[in-house]
Chain A
Amino acid sequence: MSATTIDAPLARDTRPGYARLIRIELRKMYDTRAGFWLLVTAVLLAGLAAALTILTGSDTGRNFSNAMDNSTQAINFLVPVVGILLVTSEWSQRTAQVTFTLVPRRERVLVAKVGAAVLLALAAFVVTIALSAVFTAIGGKESIDTGQGAWEIGGDVLLQIALFNVISMLIGVGLGAAILLSAPAIVAAFVLPVGVSLICELISSLDDVANWIGQGEALSPLSDHALSGTEWGRVVTATLLWAALPLAVGLWRFVKSEVR
């Protein structure tokens, strides 16, 4: 009792640190049924992609590198959705009201959400490695045509895959924060990239532009092969457009909007 009374005034007026806020944000992702099953589905999707690659792929493609590529593309189908819901579920379920009364410096909440998102993206990376490794161990084989070993993968590609996950996740968080509504943000996450690529394809003068701003065009090489200098440039421009811009708009909306 006496010990608690001595440090109580200190603890009472200590601002919650980012480590704590990030832990809370992670916890909020799996402590509801919807959040929990979304994460489970993402893992299952990655597992399915790895399994199909190794067990049913062509003879030249049954290797760890290919499994990583495919399971990363699969899990990144849902990674932006996780990012979106990390932000928008607070609005649709109106818990933002509670969150912001406990942490009135709202920008800290958004930073914590970004931190949690990055950790989840890295967790997705670990999951794809583990699942790809399991299936490669079961049925991976050396390619007779190319001579690529079952386990052969470039270290830089692995790091690029981690980066790919983080960028996809931040695109989700950015769209979520900019739009603040779950359904429209998810629709935007799937429709906008397709729309932009389509427009670029229809207007022939924009053909090269798509390589710089198209989400698929600029970002999916990350999980495929070690990037060239130009390709890195494209990753930067696409990330600025799809992650940094929505995050900036989102930060402004997050801090300024009236919470109902």
Chain B
Amino acid sequence: MLDAMIESHGLTKRLGGRAIVSDVTFTCRPGTVTGFLGPNGAGKTTTMRMLCGLSDPDAGHAEILGVNYRQLPNPGRRVGILLDASAQHAGRRGEEVLTLSALTIGADPAKVPELLDRVGLPKRAARQRLKAYSLGMRQRLGIAAALVGDPEVLILDEPANGLDPEGMRWMRGLLRDFADRGGTVLLSSHLLHEVEAVADQLVIIGNGKIVAAGTREELLSGGGTLVRPAADHGDDRLARALADAGLTVHAHPDGGFIVEAEPDDVGRAALAGGVALSRLGPSESAGLEQLFFDLTSSDASAASAAPANDLQEAAR
């Protein structure tokens, strides 16, 4: 069995002189779920389109099951793909969409009802035309279409979009089960909590570049310590106490700080400054959230910095 089912080697895509995806490299191994995370517009979809041969990279290359996707003789039987659940003919019935896919790749169309059942689409919905489908139903149908060929690799772009909390839980279970049976899953999301619980590996992309990648544990270990002061003591006092102790701190979006130190040292610093704490501990996902927040906010600040510079130059 291949060790790397999906390989992205320095994938780069330029659009109008600007690199919208730049040097994206990662590997997905069998039996794992990889969460491809990033804010909207970070380059997730573009990367996935290059993986699936829909878009030609300007540099780098991608391999699925050891070859360029376009070289797979019958890719639908090896790789299940859902890039955009809305990219379907509005006038086609749900079951017909699956039947068409099955017939194209030589899978048994008699399995369509079973598949519809598996993704939780009732018989009535199967007979409906897609214009009557909600986004959540389209996602379920799209996942069913990806599963038609009984593939060993799944590539899903924002599959949780439009799913209700129950649907999200169902999807996580389905993907976990798929990976546990030896399959390889790559799924993208712009929401950390959607994939955090199911992903074995996270690849985080911002502004077209990979900013962090690794197992959940690896990414969390450098997360530092989350500390919050008691309500009547305030962030300012705590910030002073931590600064006095020579610790590096980052403000947390929900209040308190992420400190680049062990909880012991943070606790001592707070004691020395006479600040009561309401929370002290390893930041865990707070660290990831912070990373994610930094990504999104650095996009925003980069955008707002430009006009500020213009003003300064105008003043000179």
Contact = CB atoms under 8 A, between A and B. Distances in A.
Contacts, number: 89
Interface string B66-84: 0001101111111001011
Contact of B89 (A13, A24, A95): A95
Given A94-B88, A95-B88, A20 B106 contact: yes
A11 B107 CA distance: 9
B71 to A, nearest CB: 8
Contacts of A99: 104
B44 to A, nearest CB: 15
Contacts of A104: 52-53, 69-70, 72, 75
Nearest to A15: B73
A99 B76 CA distance: 10
A34 interface: yes
A101 B54 contact: yes
A27 interface: yes
A21 to B, nearest CB: 7
Interface in A89-105: 89, 93-95, 97-105
Nearest to A9: B77
Given A31-B92, A32-B92, A98-B87, A103 B104 contact: yes
B278 interface: no
A259 B54 contact: yes
Contact of A24 (B54, B103, B145): B103
A145 interface: no
A62 B251 CA distance: 90
Interface residues of A, number: 32
A117 B256 CA distance: 67
A94 to B, nearest CB: 4
B272 interface: no
A14 interface: yes
B87 A101 contact: no
A105 B70 contact: yes
Given A14-B106, A33-B91, A94-B86, A102 B76 contact: yes
Given A101-B81, A105-B70, A20 B52 contact: no
A28 interface: yes
Interface in A76-95: 89, 93-95
Contacts of A21: 104
Contacts of B81: 101
Contacts of B149: 12
Nearest to B72: A104
A22 to B, nearest CB: 11
Given A11-B77, A101-B54, A102-B75, A32 B100 contact: no
Given A98-B145, A101-B54, A31 B96 contact: yes
Contacts of A33: 91, 129
A256 to B, nearest CB: 9
Nearest to A101: B81
A28 B91 contact: no
B211 interface: no
Given A98-B145, A102-B105, A13 B84 contact: no
B248 interface: no
A16 B74 contact: yes
B47 to A, nearest CB: 14
A102 B84 contact: no
Contacts of B105: 16, 102
B55 interface: yes
A12 B149 CA distance: 8
B132 interface: no
B103 A27 contact: yes
Contacts of A12: 74, 77-78, 149
A115 B86 CA distance: 28
B199 to A, nearest CB: 23
A101 B52 contact: yes
A163 B120 CA distance: 49
Interface string A142-158: 00000000000000000
B91 A97 contact: no
A31 B100 contact: yes
B101 interface: yes
A169 B87 CA distance: 27
Interface string B45-63: 0000000111100000000
A34 B72 CA distance: 33
B43 to A, nearest CB: 15
A23 interface: yes
20 contacts: A14-B74, A15-B74, A31-B92, A32-B89, A89-B89, A94-B86, A98-B87, A98-B88, A98-B101, A101-B53, A101-B75, A101-B81, A101-B83, A102-B75, A104-B69, A104-B72, A105-B70, A258-B54, A259-B54, A259-B55
Given A32-B91, A95-B89, 5 more contacts: A20-B103, A33-B91, A93-B87, A93-B90, A101-B81
Across the A-B interface, give the 5 residue pairs with the lowest CB-CB distance, nearest first. Answer: A32-B91, A94-B87, A12-B77, A104-B70, A93-B89
